[in-house]
A and B are shown apart, each in its own frame.
Chain A
């Protein structure tokens, strides 16, 4: 309610009244469930993450190296040609420090979200991930970072096999 309005016209429904069943209140938990097929490109990408490697696809027409990999080049509109391993280091392209959780709560520990342009991929090709081992105030665009991997036994073939990216000394 805004500062100037202290009450709305009509009858306010209290939560007690709802609990008592005074009003029709339908609650339904909609639970759609999916088992998405990851596809050729992302399946291989995830398998390689499990091995501690980041792979890309190369388009030999525009010569771009695409991360995350795709089986088609969206610019040239043709199949991509080869798998290429890229490095697990990169540069912070942009970042934001998120102070609000998905449930709208203020976060005590902010989430550090960044796009990391990956070394070895074409300029502007990167991975959306978290930053870690860094003071929020010291994050800079252009900062060099490296992936911090989970232990091999803990990896699942998921993007979270990379725990986060941390700054590397210049």
Chain B
């Protein structure tokens, strides 16, 4: 039997650089209320599992999972928090449903990055404390610069092709009501913006924004009873590479290759490039989109850059990639980034993407990366 878990509701709140009027919990309540309304469920009766994806240091509160129940309708209900990206949260919910623990499961993740005064300190603290961390006093993005340099060297990709990713995604975001960092700029402006960690520039680095995103998932049987706009998860996978930065293949996103391999196998996909109608993939940094597309087998090794430059991944191109504007155009959402990509894909598959709509989109891929200095990625294949 094919793998099938239904996405029966989505809701979100925020998508702004700052949300000073609302606490994290109030922001979550708004998102969750919309998701439950969308799914037509009562969280106090109809949900058997709640999953949050948060990280204590981003919250600024330890054992932060204990603060999640009230605003999700999960008081005295089964709830767990996983400190990972939202797509891995979706996978966790799928497992709860497949195991029979739940018929309906809820997944939430959020970013309240505007509450964090020194996010660089937190990202830096993720480097190995004994071996790596203590001898660099640099912005943690030096690792992105090194990955990018290795990627460019090994694939022979032209430097300007990375800039084109930022041009494309920021332009797309201008048509997205959720887009915070949309702009109409050219490659010259991107490459001449300040260098963050060479060769990576500031306009090639996504910037953090606030939002909460909530998904309602249901078993196939239950989903058929809940509304008529179900989007199906057909395959899902995730993978983590070694934390030893020096030992990874920095040119490749091997964890994405692995995660995609599993998701494609579950969804029975042999040639993803022709199967898919659109993809929302990691673009935390410009080169990441190209590296991810190759890992996902949506471009031949070393050819993603040339394809993006030729417009193959534009909204009206061969395979629209980050039609939403991605993280570069919309903004980065910490552990909620994977749910953001999934949200954009679900809107597309429902035909609710407005000016971003890819005509007759039926099959989509979403992929996330947990950001520096991690090597964890997740992939889901969606269809309607």
Q: Tell me the A residues contacting B by CB distance below 8 Å.
A: 24, 26, 28, 30-42, 70-72, 74-77
Contacts and interface: CB of A to CB of B under 8 A. Distances in A.
B43 interface: yes
A34 B22 contact: no
Contacts of A33: 116-118, 121
Contacts of A41: 23, 26
Contact of A74 (B19, B20, B21, B75): B75
Interface string B17-29: 0011111111001
A35 B125 CA distance: 19
B2 interface: no
Interface string B121-140: 11001000110011000000
A41 B27 CA distance: 12
Given A72-B71, A77-B43, A32 B116 contact: yes
B57 interface: yes
A75 B43 CA distance: 10
B234 interface: no
A39 B69 CA distance: 17
Given A42-B23, A77-B43, 14 more contacts: A26-B129, A28-B129, A28-B133, A30-B121, A32-B125, A34-B117, A35-B114, A36-B60, A37-B22, A37-B112, A40-B26, A41-B23, A72-B70, A75-B75
B44 A77 contact: yes
A39 B118 contact: no
29 contacts: A26-B134, A28-B133, A31-B118, A31-B121, A32-B60, A32-B118, A33-B117, A33-B118, A33-B121, A34-B115, A35-B115, A36-B115, A37-B19, A37-B21, A37-B22, A37-B114, A37-B115, A39-B21, A39-B22, A40-B21, A41-B26, A42-B23, A71-B29, A72-B29, A72-B70, A72-B71, A74-B69, A77-B36, A77-B42
Contacts of B133: 28
Contacts of B118: 31-33
A71 B26 CA distance: 7
B23 A38 contact: yes
B351 interface: no
Contact of B70 (A38, A42, A74): A74
A26 B132 CA distance: 11
A92 to B, nearest CB: 25
A41 B43 CA distance: 22
Contact of B73 (A26, A28, A77): A77
B81 to A, nearest CB: 17
A157 B374 CA distance: 41
A77 B22 CA distance: 18
Contact of A70 (B19, B70, B115, B116): B70
A30 B125 contact: yes
Contact of A36 (B23, B36, B44, B122): B23
A158 to B, nearest CB: 16
A31 B121 CA distance: 7
Q: Which of A35, A38, A74 has the most CB of B within 10 A?
A: A74
A80 to B, nearest CB: 11
Given A26-B129, A28-B129, A77-B73, A39 B117 contact: no
Contacts of B114: 35, 37
Contacts of A77: 36, 42-44, 73
Nearest to A73: B70
Given A28-B134, A32-B116, A40 B22 contact: yes
B288 to A, nearest CB: 25
A76 B73 CA distance: 8
A67 to B, nearest CB: 14
Contacts of A38: 23
A76 B33 CA distance: 12
A74 to B, nearest CB: 4
Nearest to A24: B130
Interface string B97-130: 0000000000000001011111001100100011
A24 B135 CA distance: 13
A77 B44 CA distance: 7
A136 B129 CA distance: 45
Nearest to A27: B134
A79 B44 CA distance: 14
